[in-house]
Chain A
Amino acid sequence: MIETYTFSNNGGLPEYNDEVFVGFGSFTVAVIVNGMNNREMCRRVSLAVNRVLNNEFENMSFDDMTYLLSKIVKHNDEYAVIRITDEEIETEQHGGIRGYLVKNGEIVQITNGLQKIDNEDRIIFATDRFFRYLNKEAVLADAVTSISAEEWMDFMINRISDVNMLKGDNLSAITFIVRNTENVRVDP
């Protein structure tokens, strides 16, 4: 199981121009679009993503998914596609959207392609404006301290708020925690 939490905030601006999409199935698909500088691009990519997510994405390979998107998006559009299961993560990141993997007490940037992941690994993808107010040590500390994907996000938002009171930028991010099913505790 992949625990997921998304954060979208207009940062005091009249419009929220980014987009964060999540699709759940036997695997989880997420797409983040950075539309801050290009609303038209964001609408175009959003349309494409909606088409993918509404089009039985469970039966699509990651390559099919990104190929379909690449037909619609332009070369310099900023977006990231993430396909994640309990065992692996496959990503394609364009422009100023990046991801980090927290594993064994360390944090590493996620590169495009396929990567193995394990139980309790934590993953974040966000726009560069979100990461502008955080350093890697802060993201790592919050990851190892938090008990859920939502709390991890809350801790990071507190840090950003301490710097800019969430004013001035659209902020978009998504956090994942890998929870192997046998480790999920159900309280009676």
Chain B
Amino acid sequence: MGLSALSSQSKIALFILLILIVAVIVSLVWISRLLIELIRTARINDAKKEDDPLFADVAYFYERGNRERQEDSLYISHLDDYVDYGIMACVSDGMGGLKYGSEISKFIIDEIEKLFPVNFYDTEAMADAIKKISHKVFEKYSRKGGATLVIVHVFKDMLNFYSVGDSNILLIRNRVATCLNPKQNYSCVLIKNLVLEGKTTEDAYLNKKGRALVDFMGNNNTRVNFSHTPMRLLDGDILLVCSDGVTDAISLNSLPNLLGATAKKTAENVKLAIRMKNFAKQDNYSGIVIKLIKYNF
């Protein structure tokens, strides 16, 4: 039966049916394209979130404690440079008991400031530059004074760090504080020797000279400990770069209890917690708090 055999009403009905079928197909194609576009946009947004750099919320405290002089010095690079060069934060602690402690720590920090901006990915060059600063101190003060130095350099979501002596670079992640840098004190030498003899290590902690520095800024041919590969940082990580006056007063285990919503609040909490202890021989205590946050724009 041909099309001509159909009544005109049937032809119209068939025509409408065909139009409806085409409309449904076009709608389905359009809806599926829309869905694909939505999924693609969501994926791009997710990827962007992962690529978004961590932003740094920074604060510091700088306290004399019960010492006559403030021998700590600090440097925080300009936050305007954050996108291009990241942020660098340093603490130098002048060695107590030796002359020129404050003068030397200030000299070191001034020299570090001159280095910025540094190439984030060339940590060996930065370590060499720190070594040269130490040599300048050595030539100027002939080991009549010295200082420790700790530096963190955060760029995007990566961390490099540098350390000479026994100041601290602490990472607080998931409410657990971890000291990242190895210490250069005599107890480490004693521990190594005791381990080689197959002994336990309590003697290393009983030794009165255990806390004496075996390396420091101002020593001859200083060894700079540094990260040879950057460490990845995570959203919510907190870095505390500080002198040993902080960690002598507050244990690593109790530090997470002092975290505030912002870097400023955390810095205040740490400062007040140490002040409240009111130790008669409280050393200078200074620190820089960096809270890493990922904003979802």
Taking Cβ atoms with an 8 Å cutoff, the residues of A that contact B are 9-12, 104-106, 120, 135, 137-138, 140-142, 144-145, 147, 154-155, 157-158, 161, 165-167
Judge whether A145 and B178 touch: CB under 8 Å.
no
- Chain B window 10-33, contacts with chain A (Cβ cutoff 8 Å), 1 for yes, 0 for no: 000000000000000000000000
CA distance A157 to B227 in the complex (A): 19
CA distance A155 to B161 in the complex (A): 16
Question: Can you pick out 16 interface pairs between chain A and chain B where the beta carbons lie within 8 Å of each other?
Answer: A9-B195, A11-B200, A12-B200, A105-B158, A105-B229, A105-B230, A105-B231, A120-B229, A138-B179, A140-B231, A141-B231, A142-B182, A147-B228, A155-B182, A158-B188, A161-B191
Q: Find chain A residues with CB under 8 A from B181 CB.
A: 141, 145
Judge whether A166 and B182 touch: CB under 8 Å.
no
Of the stretches B1-9, B38-46, B201-209, B254-262, the one at the interface is: B201-209
B78 lies within 8 A of chain A by Cβ: no
Report if A166-B226 is in contact (Cβ < 8 Å); known contacts: A145-B182, A158-B182: no
B83 lies within 8 A of chain A by Cβ: no
B97 lies within 8 A of chain A by Cβ: no
CA distance A33 to B192 in the complex (A): 24
Q: Find chain A residues with CB under 8 A from B183 CB.
A: 158
Report B215 CB to chain A, min CB distance, Å.
14
CA distance A104 to B231 in the complex (A): 8
CA distance A145 to B180 in the complex (A): 9
CA distance A154 to B193 in the complex (A): 11
Report if A135-B176 is in contact (Cβ < 8 Å); known contacts: A105-B229, A140-B231, A165-B201: yes
Of A11, A154, A157, A166, the most chain B CB neighbours within 10 A belong to A166
